[in-house]
Amino acid sequence: MKDFFISNEVKLATKVLFSVLIIGYIALPFDLIPDFIMLFGILDDTAIAIFLLQLMVKVAPESLKEKHNLFQ
């Protein structure tokens, strides 16, 4: 994740977009399922985090994917 944000190959707009999405979700966690409902409340948070990380990998430049063995 650090390499994504410090890479010169990733556009500034992309970095800003993902920063806003990550910080926004941490600051204002929109829950599809409230956390007080055991297990299921945590699963929706985990699903959104995984979705954001997968999106970052998808838009990452090939050099970063090769560096971290993230072939798709």
Q: pLDDT tens for residues 3-34? A: 889 889 999 999 999 999 888 888 876 666 77
pLDDT at residue number 32: 67
* Maximum CA extent, the chain: 42
What are the sequence ranges of the domains in the chain? 2-67
CA atoms within 13 A on the CB side of 32: 9
Give the mean pLDDT of 36-62: 84
pLDDT at residue number 39: 77
pLDDT at residue number 55: 92
